[in-house]
Chains A and B, each alone.
Chain A
Amino acid sequence: MPLPKLQRIGILSDRFAAFIIKGSAFVAILSLILIFVFIGKEALPVLTSPEVRSEASLSRLFLPQVHHAGEAAEFSWQPISDVPKYSLFPLFIGTLKVTLIAALIAIPLAVAAALYTSEFAPSWARETIKPCIEVLAGIPSVVVGFFCLMVIASWLQGAFGWTYRLNALTAGIGLSLAVIPIVYTVSEDAFSSVPQAFREGSIAMGASSWQTASRVVLPAAMPGVLAACILGFGRAIGETMIVLMASGNAAVLSWSPVDSIRTFSATVAAELGELVQGSPHYHVLFFIGAFLFLLTFVINLIGRWWVGRLQKKLQGAF
Chain B
Amino acid sequence: MRNRCVVLMLVSALAVALSGCGRGPDSGEQHRPVTVKGSDTMVILAQSWAENYMKEHPGLTIQVTGGGSGVGIAALINGGTDICNASRPMKPAEKNQVRSRHGKDVKEIPVALDGLAIYVSESNPIQSLTEPQIKSIYTGKITNWRELGGKDARLVAYGRENSSGTYQFFKEHVLNNEDFAREVQTLPGTGAIVNAVSKDPASIGYGGIAYASGIRVVPVRKDEKSEAVSPSLATVKTGQYPLSRNLFFYTIGEPSGEVKSFIDWVLDREGQKLCEAVGYYPIIQK
Contacts and interface: CB of A to CB of B under 8 A. Distances in A.
Interface in A125-170: 149-150, 153-154, 157, 163-166
Contacts of A78: 179-180, 182
Interface in B183-223: 183-188, 192, 195-196, 199-200, 202-203
Contacts, number: 89
A262 B164 CA distance: 17
Most-contacted residue by chain A among B1, B67, B68, B202 (CB, 10 A): B1
A250 B182 contact: yes
Contact of B163 (A85, A150, A157, A273): A273
Contacts of B55: none
A12 interface: no
A262 B182 CA distance: 10
Interface residues of B, number: 36
Interface stretch (A99-107, A223-231, A241-249): A241-249
A260 B188 contact: no
Contacts of A262: 186
Contacts of A302: none
A163 B154 contact: yes
Interface stretch (A198-206, A264-272, A308-316): A264-272
A275 interface: yes
A273 B4 contact: yes
A202 to B, nearest CB: 52
B261 interface: no
Contacts of A90: 182
B68 A270 contact: no
A269 B187 CA distance: 12
Contacts of B156: 163-165
Interface in B150-169: 154, 156, 161-164, 167-168
B5 A273 contact: yes
B57 interface: no
B200 A157 contact: yes
B114 to A, nearest CB: 17
A270 B182 contact: no
Q: Which of A150, A250, A269, A275 has the most CB of B within 10 A?
A: A250
Given A154-B199, A165-B203, A250-B184, 15 more contacts: A78-B182, A81-B179, A82-B177, A163-B154, A164-B185, A165-B199, A166-B196, A245-B187, A248-B186, A250-B185, A252-B183, A260-B185, A270-B1, A272-B1, A274-B163
Interface of A: 76, 78-82, 85, 90, 149-150, 153-154, 157, 163-166, 244-245, 248-253, 260, 262, 269-276
10 closest cross-chain pairs (CB), A and B? A248-B185, A273-B1, A80-B162, A274-B163, A270-B161, A249-B186, A163-B154, A250-B185, A273-B5, A78-B179
